Amino acid sequence: MNAPTLLVDDPILIRSPFGAAHPFRAERGALTRSLLEACGALAQDEVASVSRLDERLLHSVHDGAYLEALVRAGRGERVGDLRRFGLGTGDCPVVEGMHRVALRAADATVTAAELVADGTARRAVHLTGGLHHAHRARASGFCLVNDLALAIEHLTQRHGLRVAYVDVDAHHGDGVQAAFYDRSDVLTVSVHQSGRTLFPGTGGEEEIGSGAGRGFAVNLPLDPFIDDDGYLAAFDELVPAAVAAFRPDVLVLQAGADAHWRDPLAQLALTGDGLDAVFARVIALAEHWCEGRMVVSGGGGYDAWRTVPRAWARLWARLAERELPEELPAAWRAEWQQRLGVRLPEYLSESARPDLDARATARAASHAMAVATRVATRLAPLWSAAA
C-alpha cells in the first residue's frame, strides 16, 4: 500500500511572526485546514506533529551571527544595526516572539521532508512554510528562516537524495536559489513575475547557476497580466524538460498562491482554476520521476481569505487524491465570516475574472514562450553534459 499524504501542523503556526497588521497572514493555513476538515477531506490521523530540527542543520544554512540577532531581537533585547540583518524593516519588522514562530515553521518543513525521506509519507505538506526569500545572513520579503533551504539540505545531506525544487510563487525564489546556486544535486526552478516589475528584483533568465551548479538554476520570468493559457504554455515548454534532465529522487514544491489575479502584491492574472492546473502539472512530474514523492509548502498569497484557502484546499485534494464539494460548507463559511469579518466565496472553483486587456495578455504570453524557449535551448547542452 502506498504511504499516505500527511499534513504537518502545530498550534504556534497560526500566529503571524509579524503581527496582525502585516500582509503575511499565517492564519491562511488554519483556514485551509478547517475547510478540508469541514469537507471531510482531512482526517485527524493525517495530521503529523512537528519535530525539532537539528541545530547543526540550522547553522549549515544560516549564519550564526544572523541567528543570534534574530533570537535576541525576538526576545526584545537590544541588537546593534539590525538592518544589516534585514530586520527592523517594513517587510520584516521586529515583533516579540517572531523567532519562535519562524523556527517552528522551519521545524515543520524539515519534519515534512523527513516524513517523505524515511517513507512514512509519500507526500508531506506544510502550508505555513515556503519562506523562500530568507538568505544565509539576512531576512527578506517577510521571511526570517528559510525553511525550504533547510528541508532541501536535510534531504541531500542526511539522505543523499537529488532534489528538484519547483517554485510557482509570484515572487522569485531567490533565497533558495542562492543556497544551492553552485550545487549539482539540487535543481531550482522558479516561475515568477519578472524582477523588472516585482520584488525581489532577481530571477532573470541569465541566472543559471555557477560552477558545479551551472545549468541547475532555471528561471522563467513573466510579464504582468499573463493569464492561465500563457502561463501554462510557457511552463510546459521549460519545466518538464528541466526536471526530466535532472531526474530527481524527490520534488519540493513551493505553492505560493499570489500569481492569482486578486493578489494585491503581484500583477499576474491566473484564476483559481489556473493555479490548480499548475499544481496538477507539478504533481504529475513527481509521479513520473519521483514515484510521487513530494515535500510541499505554502508560500505567498495575500488575498488571504478568498483565494489562498481554496487554492491550497484544491492542492491538498490533488495530493491526497480526495474529492471536494463544489459548494463550500455553509457552516464553515458562517463561522469564518464571523471570525474574520469578511465575506467568503460560496464555491470552490473559479474560472471567471475581470476582463483583461487582450493585447497585454497576448504580449505577456508571447514573451513568456520566447523566454521559456531561450532558456531551454541554452540549458539543454548543459543538462546533456551533466547526464
3-class DSSP state of 132: coil
Q: What is the pLDDT of residue 350?
A: 80
* Cα–Cα distance for residue pair 249/232, rounded to 1 Å: 24
By CB atoms closer than 10 A (0-12, 13-18, 19+), residue 360 is: middle
What's the pLDDT tens digit per position in 226-257?
A: 999 999 999 999 999 999 999 999 999 999 99
Find the helix or strand (DSSP H, E) in which 9 lies: none
Per-residue pLDDT of the chain (387 residues; tens, 9 = 90+): 489 999 999 999 999 999 989 999 999 999 999 999 999 999 999 999 999 999 999 999 999 999 999 999 999 999 988 999 999 999 999 999 999 999 999 999 999 999 999 999 999 999 999 999 999 999 999 999 999 999 999 999 999 999 999 999 999 999 999 999 999 999 999 999 999 999 999 999 999 999 999 999 999 999 999 999 999 999 999 999 999 999 999 999 999 999 999 999 999 999 999 999 999 999 999 999 999 999 999 999 999 999 999 999 999 999 999 999 999 999 999 999 999 999 999 999 986 788 889 999 999 999 999 999 999 999 999 999 987
DSSP string, 206-250: T----GGGTT-EEEEEE-TT--HHHHHHHHHHHHHHHHHHH--SE
How many C-beta neighbours within 10 Å does residue 376 have? 19
By CB atoms closer than 10 A (0-12, 13-18, 19+), residue 363 is: middle
Q: What is the pLDDT of residue 345?
A: 94
What's the pLDDT tens digit per position in 65-86?
A: 999 999 999 999 999 889 999 9
Q: Active-site residue 99, yes or no? A: no
Q: What is the pLDDT of residue 186?
A: 98
3-class DSSP state of 18: coil
Q: What is the pLDDT of residue 196?
A: 98
Q: What is the pLDDT of residue 297?
A: 98
- The enclosing domain of 382 has a CATH number of 3.40.800.20
The whole-angstrom distance between residue 148's C-alpha and the CA centroid of its chain comes to 8
Given 62, 126, 133, 260, the catalytic residue: 133
CA 350-348-41 angle, to 5 degrees, is 150
Q: Which domain does 136 fall in, by range?
A: 5-386
Determine contact, residues 116/294, Cβ cutoff 8 Å: yes
Q: What is the pLDDT of residue 204?
A: 98
Number of domains the chain contains: 1
* Cα–Cα distance for residue pair 147/58, rounded to 1 Å: 9
From the list 215, 191, 178, the residue with the least C-alpha distance to 299 is 191
From the list 155, 184, 149, 150, the residue with the least C-alpha distance to 167 is 149
Write the CB contacts of 24 (distance below 8 Å, at least 6 apart in sequence): 16, 17, 18, 142, 302
